[in-house]
Amino acid sequence: MKEKEKMKQGLLYDANYDDELLKDRISCKEQCFQYNQLRPSQIEEQEQLIRSLFKKTGNSFCITAPFWCDYGYHIEIGENFCSNHNCVILDGAKVTFGDNVFIGPNCVFSTAGHPLDVEQRNQGLEYAYPISVGNNVWIGMGVLVLPGVKIGNNSIIGAGSVVTKDIPEGVIAVGNPCRILRKVTDEDKKKYWK
């Protein structure tokens, strides 16, 4: 079985020394580099590059440079996706974002993890588990989302959180490790309308 197939199946795979995966990552990094060199006014060129890089995009999205990912072909974004500066998506496995997802600056979504066993790590082995973010989710600045995490619709992840486990829909979750603070309520609609 090829390393790329192992990666897609969530098995340990050779991420560091496999020629096919190295080639894919270099190609992706070249596209990210090109994207990050575009002027902010070059919106059409930015959109074309992201559409060629990602597996799926909505009609309307905004990704503020700099942006980096590993492969691109595992990333799907819904309508009105918006990420601020320094978003990093390590997409060894599928990373799916629903509609109306807002991501603050300096956030990382990492499907990749490494074995606890030192010999396996030193062989360049890693695993990749999918990440899923629902519709209408707000991810605060500096959030880290780890392999295999699912974040439910209409939830908010507070700034600086490290999301190690699934977060249900309709909640505010914060901290390291990230935990549920409370449900989003109707009172929250009135908070900023003073």
- Please give the positions annotated as active site: 114
Element (H, E) at 77: strand 75-77
Taking the C-alpha atoms of residue 193 and residue 54, their distance in angstroms, rounded to an integer, is 38
**What is 130-167 written as a DSSP string?**
-EEE-TT-EE-TT-EE-TT-EE-TT-EE-TT-EE-S-B
**Which token pair is 189?**
């609609």
Burial pattern 145-169, b for ≥16 Cβ within 10 A else e, equals bbbbbbbbebbbbbebbebeeebeb
Residue corresponding to tokens 């060894």: 92
